[in-house]
């Protein structure tokens, strides 16, 4: 993991024109912001992934201060405590799912659903769970169409014998579809 540029997204609608699952893109950016600019007073417990991520993305002095604070608080939180960054990610993801559902009739959403619909399985299922039945059927269709497209590309890739002609992007797209963007889920 390394430091990345953070986009100042305020709405899921801002990422609808970009490639891939809009929820993965939004959440990956949100996670990057949390890890590069953490509020040290609010962090009491971190999972392994976010501990190492903070070590890799923070300036050394900032990471040292955060880790010193965590070392002082080790008696405050049992090892079974939830990672504070994971909790914030879950809350933000729920907020963005609800935002999208509340904007189903917005021009950007209807255009995206017609022109660029890509959802990973995880976000598609979460979105479907909170959506009205008619929208749930549209989400099923989006997921199934993308699954078929990926299956076709993977079948072609499996039969390629010349590595120079390999489309490695297909493997990344399939991994994202199956498990969300890399580093977003543990």
Q: What is the pLDDT of residue 54?
A: 84
Q: Residue 31: inside a domain, yes or no?
A: yes
Q: Which domain holds residue 32?
A: 12-179
Check: CB of residue 84 under 8 Å from CB of residue 117: no
Report the half-sphere exposure of 26 (CA within 13 A, side-chain side).
25
Q: Residue 2: inside a domain, yes or no?
A: no
Check: CB of residue 139 under 8 Å from CB of residue 119: yes
Q: Residue 67: inside a domain, yes or no?
A: yes
Model pTM score: 0.82
Per DSSP, 182 falls in state: T
Q: Does position 141 have pLDDT exceeding 80, yes or no?
A: yes
Q: Residue 7: inside a domain, yes or no?
A: no
Q: What is the pLDDT of residue 78?
A: 59
State the greatest distance between any 2 C-alpha atoms of the chain, in Å, as a whole number: 56
Q: Residue 185: inside a domain, yes or no?
A: no
Q: Residue 102: inside a domain, yes or no?
A: yes
Comparing CA positions, the residue from 150, 133, 109, 106 lying closest to residue 23 is 109
Q: Residue 157: inside a domain, yes or no?
A: yes
Convert the pLDDT of each residue in 64-106 to its tens digit.
Answer: 888 888 888 766 555 667 888 999 999 999 999 999 999 999 9
Q: Residue 79: inside a domain, yes or no?
A: yes
Per DSSP, 114 falls in state: H
- Per the structure, the count of domains in the chain is 1
């Amino acid at each position: 993991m390394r430091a990345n540029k953070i986009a100042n997204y305020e709405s899921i609608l801002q990422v609808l024109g970009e490639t891939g699952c809009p929820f993965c893109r939004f959440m990956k950016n949100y996670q990057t912001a949390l890890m590069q600019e953490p509020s040290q007073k609010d962090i009491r417990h971190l999972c392994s992934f976010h501990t190492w991520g903070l070590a890799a993305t923070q300036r050394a002095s900032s990471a040292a201060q955060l880790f010193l604070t965590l070392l002082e608080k080790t008696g405050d939180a049992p090892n079974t405590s939830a990672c504070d960054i994971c909790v914030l990610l879950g809350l933000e993801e729920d907020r963005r799912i609800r935002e999208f559902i509340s904007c189903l009739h917005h021009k950007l959403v209807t255009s995206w659903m017609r022109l660029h619909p890509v959802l990973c399985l995880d976000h598609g299922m979460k979105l479907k769970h909170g959506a009205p039945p008619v929208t749930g059927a549209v989400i099923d269709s989006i997921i199934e169409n993308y699954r078929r497209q990926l299956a076709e590309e993977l079948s072609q890739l499996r039969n390629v014998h010349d590595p120079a002609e390999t489309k490695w992007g297909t493997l990344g797209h399939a991994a994202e579809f199956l498990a969300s963007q890399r580093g977003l889920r543990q």
